[in-house]
Structure 1
Amino acid sequence: MCRILLLVLAVCLAPAVRAGIVDAPAANLEISLMTYGPGDIYWERFGHDALEVRDTVSGESIAFNYGVFDFDQKGFLLNFARGIMAYRMDAESTQSDIDFYASEGRYVRRQRLALDDAQKERLRRFLLWNIRPENAGYHYDYYVDNCTTRVRDALDDALGGVLSTAWINQPGGMTFREQTARLMSNQPLLMLGMDLGLGPYADQPMTAWKESFLPMTLEDQLRSISVDGRPLVAEDTLLVPAKLTPPPDRAPDLRWPLLAAGLLFAVPLALPALTRRGGARGVFVAAGTLYALFAGLAGLLMLALWTLTLHRSAWGNFNLLAFSPLAFAILPGIWRIRRAGRPISRATSRVTAISFAACAIALLLHLWPDFPQRNLPWLLFALPCWAALTWTFCRRHD
């Protein structure tokens, strides 16, 4: 979500800012929200933002952001996989940020905020406290504690809770799942993988407060806020227009594409039950092996995310009813069909039937209006495949 910033360590920042934003009277300060649009790389698709503090007398302008992480950090990849993501606050000149994002084709917008002197002073003190090395680190969470929620919370505190009061009971527009799919839709395979791995947490009812985890949403929502009868956004300026294709306004509907894929994949899985030709058996073995490996590996990954990591957005995933490690148990039965006349064990048939029944139960659960997970597309993909495998094995067992 946030670009890698390895440029200015917090410990080196103070000498650079003391001549301006640190000591300037609050009346000389301008506070702005800087929003940087989505990029092309997957970690840039959610956009980024920062709080700019500008001294109008000296002209010094520093952008404070919460998007620093270090690939070279000891155990970074293992901790990332476990959901332990160590991020830091950082700061650098606003112009260097603008130049960087402009070079990537991402839009840059400045929203100058109509804060009074007391609010500016409160925000400045907090940012300067937060940038200290002992205070700059935090544990990142994609949806509830990221580089945008930290900016939002700092603004809300300076405004005395105006933002949370306005948004906490206001319904949101999309769920975490829908926002994720919408923003990742330019990389379909990654989007599908993320959608498969997200559990009920990603489908919870949203408020405007929760949905402001996105930079572009926070940017838009601030335009509706007034403080003491005046608009909070005093000036809204697009500094750099986007050169990249923007994300769609809505998440793609995955139901029909995945149903079509499931039906197409089910055809070769049903061939041994339809014909005894040798070529059909070979096609079945290839398709069956591919599907069983996919279902088993997906199930193992979802179980690992649930039981071994802190990625709570992946916990309790009902897709485990459609894709589970049990799929590995049917591989020997699939391979036995390579030769004509070789029967399939009842154990293989039973495992397949159980998997089909579990998938059907998961589909029926969607009749419950309050069912917590919107995973229908994946059930529509899996159900035809399990049905075809069950039919094939039931006709070939001992």
Structure 2
Amino acid sequence: MRPITKLLSLLALILLATAPAHADVTDAPGANLEVSLITYGPGATYWERFGHDALQLRDTVSGQSINFNYGVFDFSEKNFFLNFARGRMHYLMDAEPAGPEEAFYVQEGRSITRQRLALTPQQAAALRDFLFWNLRPENAGYNYDYYIDNCTTRVRDALNKALGGAIKAALAGHPGGMTYRQQTDRLMSAQPWLMLALDLGLGPYADQPLDAWHESFLPMELQANLRAVTTTDVHGNTRPLVEGERELSPNRLDVPPAQAPDLRLPLGAAGLLIAALLLVTSRHWRLGYTLLGSLFLVLAGLVGLLLLALWTLTTHHSAWANANLLLFNPLAFVLLPALWRARRRMAPTRFADAILLLQLLGLIAAVLLHLLPGAVQQNQPWILFALPVWLALAWSLRQPAA
């Protein structure tokens, strides 16, 4: 996907709607239409890490090729970033000649693969008519969702509609390879801090098992899964949907890893290190102990506020009911005075003791939720990080009373 101004998008729609009278993609017979899926590899910018794709219609008589994609957004749109934060992202469908669009991705160093699809003339014409209907200004916009309604699921659904549901019938129920969380961590691993932030913010929705249909929310997964789909030609014979595949341009960027990184060891080690520093400084450097503990409590409180806001104030359903709220929550702010009292070796107040006990109970609940059969959210790395830090803080805060 790539951002353009709304003006350019509307101009493209107008130009396509007022195409010349001679036969081209807009009015060619279905028998003259060649349909292809164009898949672009992941880019270097964070919003390009998931890759992109487009449906290409080519009139074999005139030679005209048009790429239709659903990945247009506009940074200058009113309240864009506020809507983004609230989960109300407005995207547009767009279409442009195949040559200039593909040249852009070649310049970016991203791979381009074309899969020629075996649609009957009737199916190709129906797809063309739907795409041009979808291009109308009143139909072009949609509310984007990273996992269930994005630029790839729209392409997948348009193809599935033209094929009478054949793609969903072939892919639904067949196990996918990863969850939403694993795919997100894998593709965002080139930006570690952003990957960690996304992993921390994802709730149980991101850990549900996926079938091949739902995992086709990613361009590369849709590309791979279509190779297993068959269709029926005009004579009633079964044949592969993908009748030809060709790499138009090689990838010149770093390739995402095949598997998601295992965050348990690095986050667990980080938690143990912070806990050890808290215990050592609580004995030998009270100011350092107070500053380090305050930093953790402030960050834990801010993360808790963010997770709570994502759950209650946004439509980001993949962040709802996040069990990490048991590990990081706004109650951490309440413990800041107790930490500064501990610097002078003063015992916590009874109120602070109650808050600390409540936080420890939250930790136990987080561990039990994860260990119970049927647990969905895979937040072991964050449990391994938070548990030793909270235990070290609890122990050190109680030392003045000893």
Q: TM-score range by the shorter chain?
A: over 0.9
Structure 2 stretches lacking a partner, 5+ long: 233-237
Q: Pick from 61, 82, 86 the counterpart of residue 90 of structure 2.
A: 86
Q: Distance in 2 between matches of 1:17 and 1:305?
A: 49
Do structure 1's residue 203 and structure 2's residue 207 form an aligned pair?
yes
Where 1:396 maps in the other structure, the secondary structure is helix
Counterpart amino acid of 1:335? W
The residue that corresponds to 2:193 in the other structure is 189
Q: In the TM superposition, what is the alpha-carbon distance from 1:195 to its structure 2 partner? A: 0.2
Structure 1 stretches lacking a partner, 5+ long: none
CA offset digits 1:252-295 (Å, max 9, x no partner):
0001111000000111222365x2x3xx2122112101100111
Q: Pick from 322, 330, 334 the counterpart of residue 329 of structure 1.
A: 334
8 Å Cα contact 2:265/2:381 also seen in 1: yes
Determine what percentage of the aligned residue pairs are the same residue: 57
8 Å Cα contact 2:34/2:116 also seen in 1: yes
Do structure 1's residue 281 and structure 2's residue 286 form an aligned pair?
yes
8 Å Cα contact 1:5/1:67 also seen in 2: no
Do structure 1's residue 237 and structure 2's residue 236 form an aligned pair?
no
CA offset digits 1:49-79 (Å, max 9, x no partner):
0000011111111000001111111111111
CA RMSD, Structure 1 to Structure 2 (Å): 1.4
The residue that corresponds to 2:258 in the other structure is 249
The residue that corresponds to 1:14 in the other structure is 17
Q: Pick from 298, 319, 323 the counterpart of residue 314 of structure 1.
A: 319
Do structure 1's residue 77 and structure 2's residue 76 form an aligned pair?
no
The residue that corresponds to 1:107 in the other structure is 111
Q: Distance in 1 between matches of 2:371 and 2:341?
A: 38
TM alignment of 1:127-142, pairs within 5 A: 127-142=131-146
Where 2:243 maps in the other structure, the secondary structure is strand
8 Å Cα contact 2:342/2:397 also seen in 1: no
Counterpart amino acid of 2:376? P
Where 2:153 maps in the other structure, the secondary structure is helix
CA separation of 1:72/1:260 partners in 2, compared to 1, >3 Å: closer, same or farther? same
Q: Pick from 35, 59, 62 the counterpart of residue 58 of structure 1.
A: 62
Counterpart amino acid of 2:306? L
Q: Distance in 2 between matches of 1:385 and 1:135?
A: 52
Do structure 1's residue 262 and structure 2's residue 290 form an aligned pair?
no
8 Å Cα contact 1:349/1:390 also seen in 2: no
TM-score by length of 1: 0.96
Q: Distance in 2 between matches of 1:337 and 1:367?
A: 34
Do structure 1's residue 124 and structure 2's residue 133 form an aligned pair?
no
Counterpart amino acid of 1:46? F
TM-score by length of 2: 0.95
Where 1:260 maps in the other structure, the secondary structure is helix
Q: Pick from 379, 382, 386 the counterpart of residue 378 of structure 1.
A: 382
Q: In the TM superposition, what is the alpha-carbon distance from 1:16 to its structure 2 partner? A: 4.1
Q: Distance in 1 between matches of 2:313 and 2:97?
A: 40
8 Å Cα contact 2:281/2:288 also seen in 1: no
Q: In the TM superposition, what is the alpha-carbon distance from 1:168 to its structure 2 partner? A: 1.2
Q: Distance in 1 between matches of 2:398 and 2:361?
A: 14
Q: Pick from 289, 293, 316 the counterpart of residue 298 of structure 2.
A: 293
Where 2:368 maps in the other structure, the secondary structure is helix
CA separation of 1:307/1:105 partners in 2, compared to 1, >3 Å: closer, same or farther? same
Counterpart amino acid of 2:318? S
Deviates more, 1:182-191 or 1:95-104: 95-104
CA offset digits 1:342-390 (Å, max 9, x no partner):
3332322332232122112211222223112111110110000000011
Counterpart amino acid of 2:204? P
Do structure 1's residue 30 and structure 2's residue 39 form an aligned pair?
no
Deviates more, 1:382-391 or 1:360-369: 360-369
Deviates more, 1:211-220 or 1:74-83: 74-83
Q: Distance in 2 between matches of 1:220 and 1:4?
A: 26
Q: Pick from 337, 345, 349 the counterpart of residue 345 of structure 1.
A: 349
Q: Distance in 1 between matches of 2:281 and 2:85?
A: 41
Q: Distance in 2 between matches of 1:26 and 1:364?
A: 59
CA offset digits 1:157-208 (Å, max 9, x no partner):
1111101111111111100000000000000000000000000110111111
Q: Distance in 2 between matches of 1:17 and 1:333?
A: 75
Counterpart amino acid of 1:175? T
8 Å Cα contact 1:198/1:313 also seen in 2: yes
TM alignment of 1:216-231, pairs within 5 A: 216-228=220-232, 229-231=238-240
8 Å Cα contact 1:31/1:112 also seen in 2: yes
The residue that corresponds to 2:102 in the other structure is 98
Q: Distance in 1 between matches of 2:278 and 2:352?
A: 15
Q: Distance in 1 between matches of 2:359 and 2:220?
A: 42
